[in-house]
Chains A and B, each alone.
Chain A
Amino acid sequence: MTHFRKSIATVLLSLVAGAALADATLLNASYDVARDVYKDYNPMFQKHWKANAGESVELKQSHGGSTKQVRAVADGLEADVVTMNQANDIEFLAEKGLVAKDWAKKFPNNASPYTSAMVFIVRKGNPKALKDWADLAAPGVQVIMPHPKNTGNGRNTYLSAWAWALKQPGGSDKTAQEFVGKLLKNAPLFAAGGRDATTTFMQRGMGDALITFESEAEMIAKEFGKGNFEVIHPSLTMQTEFPVAVVEKVVDKKGTRKQATAYLEYLWSKEGQENAAQNYLRPRDAELLKKYAAFFPPVKTFTVDEVFGGANKAFATHFKDGGTFDQIYVAK
């Protein structure tokens, strides 16, 4: 029994002591596949900060679904910084007054240190010769994607298809809506999330194409083997951003504004950008993008701001109750 008590005491002590060892502690609340990126980035920043500011800083990570994470921050999870995969989620924190209203201008590149693109993953040898969005909407093709209404993956897929149809000769919102309707008809189900969609496609063997982030394709390769699928870049696709922000309310309370800002700024440094590239995220640094060209074939992309006038507007038009998705899906 005393042995037992001792070990409990040790655990409780270590929980308390963890915070006391470093000069400052930062909590980074992130989306759920961000771990690999920040696992390598955190030690780099610690070294950088020690050398430049002479301070040791402890870095903690919290991972979960992007929307769930910002809700937790709004409810009191004391994250100093948020690093997300959707602008909507940071916008939500800005509305709550936790993040600066002009958060996107606080850092370069729309406060997104790296990007990715929506790609198709098809079976080995691409048996149905799926090359572009039009092929996915053809009869007899099955497309696996997460739910467009409540997942980032799903929304990006939906908007990519919409933008592609819009840019076709004679394209209008009307033809785009028709096209997306056809595409959605080819989805036998809507997966609950990105990981769920991958499992459906890779493990259950359903569907001819999976639509996901370019960066995720490499994670799939890690688990399921590189030779089992092919990555297809369509003629036009969405450049997805990974916005970051300092949580003003928390850093003011904890007195960590300096460290938190530096932590995010360092993402744009040569080291930070190279780390992103090594984790299959397209760096903003043009030189590095060239260096890693083998991972990142040139692809024509659009941003949500260009085509849809911002993430909030896109959400309101397409995914709010009664938006275009509801119109299409009811019609289906």
Chain B
Amino acid sequence: MSSNKLTRATQEPAWVRYTLLTVGLGFLFFFLGLPLVAVFVEALAQGLPIYLEALKESETRSAIWLTIVIALAVLPFNILFGVAAAWAIAKFEFKGKSLLITLIDLPFAVSPVVAGLIFILMFGSQGYFGEWLAAKDVKIIFAVPGMILATLFITFPFIARELIPLMQSQGKDEEEAAISLGASGWQMFWRVTLPNIKWGLLYGVILSNARAMGEFGAVSVVSGHIRGETNTLPLHVEILYNEYNAIGAFAAASVLALLALVTLVAKTIVEWRMKAETDMLNAELPGEKT
């Protein structure tokens, strides 16, 4: 009787289940599936040769390259700062820790456009360091360095945010064991800490990478929009669209969408590996299973 009640509580009547499913899937289709399909349909509207022709344009190609270069340039900094910040926050207690956590989250809270304007305020010719930089003939704003800085600011929190909970849940027992067995700091980091966080780190890298490639607002403010030089893919899509070049715009957008799909696949693989690893650990330690 009671078990019957329980099953009924978790099994809604068929029509409720199907309605919910239809609404959910319908939503997914209209807001995610359809736009994705539309990008490719519009890009191929005048046939494959014209689509390829649009992609062959040197400005589009340089936009693709610049997008990748910026994403790659940002990566080592993000890994370094992300791991260092997560390490400090997860493994140590110190004054101002909550302030540090707030600071790390700042880029999430600030609108990207405002983030871009901050760099203009600092390095623009009317900005704090503007005159000094101009005298030294160093270009930051409206050049690739400024775009890398802006992207760095926007993508900064992803890796740290991914690693902090992971490292906190792992505690510091293993590290302490390594040290007490005579490992040096580096040995401990390479042999204990890094293997423990590798999948989480990779996951953070993928997320921040996706954001770096798709970033529009902050980069738009500091880019200067010089064609073939400081236009990333998202910026290039906008300008082509404004020029009534729909095919070119959607062709460039399709490249962005493909990059996103690759990211998605990579993300799924990493998630799958992470899960496999935890399952394996749990199987090895049946006593500690919760």
> Which residues in A have some Cβ–Cβ distance to B below 8 Å?
8, 11-12, 15, 18, 27, 32-33, 35-36, 60-64, 69, 72, 74-78, 193, 195, 198, 219-220, 222-223
Contacts and interface: CB of A to CB of B under 8 A. Distances in A.
Nearest to B137: A253
A20 B123 CA distance: 25
- Chain A CB count within 10 A is highest, among B124, B239, B242, for B242
A11 B65 contact: yes
A64 B244 CA distance: 14
B107 interface: no
B72 interface: yes
B141 A76 contact: yes
A63 B142 contact: no
Given A27-B226, A62-B227, A32 B141 contact: no
Nearest to A35: B243
Given A76-B134, A76-B141, A78-B142, A60 B69 contact: no
Interface of B: 65-66, 69, 72, 120, 123-127, 130, 134, 139, 141-142, 144, 224-229, 239, 241-244, 246
Contact of A60 (B127, B144, B228): B228
Contacts of B225: 62-64, 69, 72
A61 B224 contact: no
B67 to A, nearest CB: 11
Given A60-B227, A60-B229, A12 B142 contact: no
B130 A60 contact: no
Contacts of B244: 33, 195, 198, 219-220, 222-223
A12 B242 contact: no
Given A33-B243, A35-B243, A75 B127 contact: yes
Contact of A32 (B65, B125, B224, B243): B243
A195 B227 contact: no
Given A60-B228, A62-B224, A76 B125 contact: yes
Contacts of B124: 75-76
9 contacts: A33-B244, A60-B227, A63-B242, A63-B243, A69-B225, A78-B139, A193-B242, A195-B241, A219-B243
Given A35-B243, A36-B243, A76-B125, A62 B226 contact: yes
A312 to B, nearest CB: 21
Of B144, B227, B244, B246, most A-chain CB atoms within 10 Å: B244
B118 to A, nearest CB: 12
- Sorted nearest first, the 4 A-B pairs with minimum C-beta distance are A76-B125, A75-B124, A77-B142, A77-B224
